[in-house]
Amino acid sequence: MNENNDPIPPHDSLTERLESPTGSAVPYFLAFAVVLAMLYGGWKWWQVRQFEAARGQAITAAALGPPLTEFELTERSGQPFRSADMRGRVWVAAYFFTTCPGSCIRLNENIQFMHKLPELKDVTWVNISCDPDTDTLAALRDYADRWQADPDRWLFCRAPLDYTQRVARGMNLFLSYKGHQDRVVVVDKSGKIRGMVDATSKQECQRLHTMLIKCLKEEAPQELAAAVTAEK
């Protein structure tokens, strides 16, 4: 009891302090609201910057020349990789760079797992660098060794960036210096794109597996089979 014989109120509970407009928790909530507002503002600023950057890249891409659907790259072995030579085979294109610390790691972990599956032994995986300045042939060889990549079935390729951008555009993908989408591109035996999958997602890789099995079961185009027979 106090001197006015009024009962002494108990210590405020957390709920009471949260509900009271004059409680000590109010300044904390105000500070929290300010931080949230700042974070949201920063996020919107980043979105605007990304849009402007993408728009600038699009303008640059328009000056590169038309998209490429047939192309030639240099594989880590120093040998050429020609998309035309892949007719009659199922292959998967993926964009990456060797110094990527994030999504490229997840992407290549999933590719490594799938490229070792017996039922996918006839699939060729083609990694294409978007950082040709760093990703020399020697760097690509070291990176491929890190993933224990079969040199016949998991290729690592490079080309000048502007050329690689045209290749990516031919696959309906956006590409910039050290900037790429995580989707891999499945190409069937006729040379047609059959689908795109986010290969950093294990769930999406299940869909990729189904797509590849379907493509492997298909026959090669008759004109291609006839050409192969004639060569023999």
Kindly compute the dihedral angle of the four CA atoms of residues 227, 228, 231, 232, in this order, to the nearest 10 degrees: -140
Identify the CA nearest to 153 among candidates 111, 204, 183: 111
| pLDDT given at position 229 | 45
Q: What CA–CA distance (Å, rounded) separates 163 from 128?
A: 11
The stretches in the chain having pLDDT less than 50 are 2, 6-23, 43-59, 61, 226-232
CATH architecture of 72-231: 3-Layer(aba) Sandwich (3.40)
| pLDDT given at position 223 | 67
Structure tokens at 20: 């009271």
| pLDDT given at position 66 | 87
| pLDDT given at position 225 | 52
Q: What CA–CA distance (Å, rounded) separates 150 from 125?
A: 10
Q: What CA–CA distance (Å, rounded) separates 32 from 40?
A: 12
Task: Count the Cβ atoms, other than its own, within 10 Å of residue 180.
Answer: 24
| pLDDT given at position 64 | 65
Q: Global pTM?
A: 0.71
User: Could you give phi then psi for residue 176, rounded to 5 degrees?
Assistant: -140, 180
- The pairing of beta strand 72-75 with beta strand 80-82: antiparallel
Locate the domains of the chain by residue range.
25-63, 72-231
Instruction: Write out the H or E segment, with its range, that includes residue 80.
Output: strand 80-82
- Are the C-beta atoms of residues 124 and 153 closer than 8 Å to each other? yes
Q: What CA–CA distance (Å, rounded) separates 165 from 174?
A: 8
